[in-house]
């Protein structure tokens, strides 16, 4: 399970969603707030990753997400800053693809998830990367996540493929397992570290 840190340094930029009215206040260097959107094919485990991160739960029964669910979670970093993630867990179904801009518009972070046992979902992940490069915020922090890492024996997408693709596209890469909780917190901590900090005024 590799962690490729290949993010270009970003020192400025908007962190938050366009449509968050609460967020109009002055940026606070110690208390960050960021809109995060999860994208990826249906069934790759986006909701499971979020629920593991936010509630520490894992429910193996598949619950198809409708539209998008909103959850938030705050984490504290070692340098005593806190980051509040406002997470949009989007539905992977095809019918919602056209509506994705609704959810990724203004997002500071995009987490693109695929299933390491499904090459189709890896292809779909690449589609989302391209879409965000075209239409997302120019300074968006992107992470590529290979989920279901516990299913090693069924693996069809090699770690290196994910790593290579992430590197080429300036993304952070990690493999996770929502089921075993492996690397879930690391994913969000690494994202938090990579967030651009508002320059002290």
Partner 1 sequence: MSSDSGSSSSSGDESVEQNPDSNPKLVDERFDLLTLTEPVELEPNHQENGNEIANGSLNRGSNDGGAEDDQLRVENHEIFGDEGPASPSSSGYAGERGSSSASSASGIGEVSEIDGNEIHEVRNDGSLEGISDSRASSWVPGKRHVDEDDASISWRKRKKHFFILSHSGKPIYSRYGDEHKLAGFSATLQAIISFVENGGDRVKSVKAGKHQVVFLVKGPIYLVCISCTEEPFESLKGQLELIYGQMILILTKSINRCFEKNPKFDMTPLLGGTDVVFSSLIHSFSWNPATFLHAYTCIPLAYATRQAAGAILQDVADSGVLFAILMCKHKVISLVGAQKASLHPDDMLLLSNFVMSSESFRTSESFSPICLPRYNPMAFLYAYVHFFDVDTYLMLLTTSSDAFYHLKDCRIRIETVLLKSNVLSEVQRSTIDGGMRVEDLPVDPLPRFGSSPHLGQQRPPTESPEGPREPCIGIGGPAGLWHFIYRSIYLDQYVSSEFSPPLSSPQQQKRLYRAYQRLYASMHDKGIGPHKTQFRRDENYVLLCWVTQDFELYAAFDPLADKALAIKTCNRVCQWVKDVENEIFLQGASPFSW
- Rank residues 26 and 98 by Cβ distance to partner 1 and give the closer one: 98
Which among 112, 137, 113 has a CA at the least distance from the CA of 15?
Answer: 137
- In angstroms, what is the minimal distance from the CB of 89 to partner 1? 8
Both tokens of 24, joined, read 């109009």
Contacting residue, 66, 79, 200, 201, with partner 1 by CB under 8 A? 66
The total of other beta-carbon atoms located within 10 Å of residue 76's CB is 11
User: Which 103-122 positions form the footprint of partner 1 (CB under 8 A)?
Assistant: 105
Q: How many residues bind partner 1 (CB under 8 A)?
A: 26
Indicate whether 99 belongs to the interface with partner 1 (CB under 8 A): yes
Indicate whether 96 belongs to the interface with partner 1 (CB under 8 A): yes
Binding mask 9-48 for partner 1 (x = CB under 8 A): ---------xxxxx-------------------x----x-
Piece in contact with partner 1 (CB under 8 A), picked from 2-10, 64-72, 109-117, 124-132: 64-72
* Pairing label, strands 31-40, 82-90: parallel
- List Cβ neighbours of 12 (8 Å cut-off, separation of 6 or more): 139, 196, 199
The total of other beta-carbon atoms located within 10 Å of residue 77's CB is 14
Longest pairwise C-alpha distance within the chain: 52
3-class SS of residue 156 = coil
Which residue ranges make up the site for partner 1 (CB under 8 A)? 18-22, 42, 47, 51, 63-71, 89, 91, 93-96, 99, 102, 105
């Amino acid at each position: 399970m590799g962690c490729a840190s290949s993010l270009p340094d970003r020192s400025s930029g908007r962190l938050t969603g366009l449509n968050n009215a609460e967020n109009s206040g002055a940026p606070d260097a110690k208390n960050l707030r960021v809109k995060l959107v999860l994208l990826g094919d249906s069934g790759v485990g986006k909701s499971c990753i979020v629920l593991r991160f936010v509630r520490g739960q894992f429910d193996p029964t598949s619950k198809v997400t409708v539209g998008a669910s909103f959850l938030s979670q705050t984490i504290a970093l070692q340098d005593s800053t806190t980051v509040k993630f406002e997470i949009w867990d989007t539905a992977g179904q095809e019918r919602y693809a056209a509506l994705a801009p609704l959810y990724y518009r203004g997002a500071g972070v995009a987490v693109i998830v695929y299933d390491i046992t499904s090459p189709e979902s890896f292809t779909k992940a690449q589609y989302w990367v391209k879409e965000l490069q075209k239409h997302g915020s120019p300074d968006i922090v992107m992470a590529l996540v290979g989920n279901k890492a516990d299913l090693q024996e069924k693996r069809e997408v090699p770690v290196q493929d994910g790593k290579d693709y992430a590197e080429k596209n300036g993304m952070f890469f990690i493999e996770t397992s929502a089921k075993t909780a492996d690397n879930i917190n690391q994913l969000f901590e690494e994202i938090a570290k990579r967030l651009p900090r508002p320059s002290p005024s």
